[in-house]
Amino acid sequence: MAASRVHYMLLAAASILLFIGIAHQHDHVRETLNNAWNKGTGATSHGSSINIDPSVNLEPEAHGAAVSSPPKAAPSAAPASNVPSFHEIALKYGTDKVTTHQYWFMYDKYFPSIRDKRVKMLEIGLGCDMNYGPGKSYYTWLEYFPNVDLYYMEYDAACAEKWSAETTGATIYAGDQADKVFLQKFIDETGGNFDIIIDDGGHTMNQQQVSLEMLWKIVKPGGMYFIEDLQTSFMGSYGGDDQGGKDPTKHTMTKIIYELIDDKLQGDGTRHAISAEMRSIECMKEVCLFHKKEEGTL
């Protein structure tokens, strides 16, 4: 019985010594981490030191030996932007770009990155033939691009002259977008170098095709050329193929776009020389974008 009592006393003493050793090791680990932290942050005895939070668990966890890190402050939330989108501005002015059509998917994708830059822009079609009259897109662009140098082409000369006299926010040219002499005059007088050209003009096959042929060369490197209302390629009244694209005698705008896409997939300039200058072609419902290559790139 005495031997058993001695045995239990020895076990108790050993347990106390082991606990003291662990506590000493715990303090040593905390001191080591404090020193490493202070060294990494440049804190010295002559400045404020950074201490490990005593509430942090430094003991090995049951399923591993990971040591918890000091708690991190929650990241501050990014400030909400109050800048309205193209879609919101266009809805305010009532342009059919966002009522009848869905062009905001294209414009809200590509325009935000250049919105605050100095932008030289041409839109073909002032809206004189619309039932709500001209100017809906005019006001939209002026609000969306605060630094825009805005130009318009308009077929209706009387409407263009009247609108031009009532506004100073844009330079307006009256003429037919299918008239190469008129287009060359526009090029010579404006100097070209447009960041954005949007064809929202007469929508006939001849107008769309001649405009792209003549005006593509004045899109600056990295610039964008849009053609809206491409559904007219399937309407006979606009010179389109009302047989759903199956009439081989109708060379529509969309058929040219298919050829340009073929060029990009098999080799630039295979059928159309301008494809060699195109970085990409992207189409959404009733609208396509031709993105010009940046200068000095392949």
Low-confidence residues of the chain, pLDDT below 70?
A: 1-81, 268
Beta bridge partners of 124: 153, 199
Sequence spans of domains, the chain:
1-45, 86-292
For 109-120, how does the pLDDT look when each residue is reduced to its tens digit (9 = 90+)?
999 999 999 999
For residue 68, the model assigns a pLDDT of 36
DSSP secondary structure of the chain = -HHHHHHHHHHHHHHHHHHHHHHHHHHHHHHHHHHHHHHHHT--TTS------TTS--SPPTT----PPPPPPPPPPPPPP-PPPHHHHHHHHT-TTTTTS-THHHHHHHSGGGTTS-EEEEEE--STTSTT-S-HHHHHHHHH-TTEEEEEEES-HHHHHHHHHH-SSSEEEES-TT-HHHHHHHHHHH---EEEEEE-S---HHHHHHHHHHHGGGEEEEEEEEE--GGGGG-GGGT--TTTT--TT---HHHHHHHHHHHHHH-TTSS-GGGGGEEEEEEETTEEEEEEPPTT--
Q: What is the pLDDT at residue 125?
A: 96
Per-residue model confidence (pLDDT) at position 41: 40
| The pLDDT of residue 222 | 97
Task: Give the pLDDT confidence score for residue 42 in this predicted structure.
Answer: 42
Architecture of domain 86-292: 3-Layer(aba) Sandwich (3.40)
pLDDT at 166: 80
pLDDT at 81: 64
Whole-angstrom CA distances from 7 to 10, 15, 127, 135 are 5, 13, 104, 101
The whole-angstrom separation of Cα 206 and Cα 204 is 5
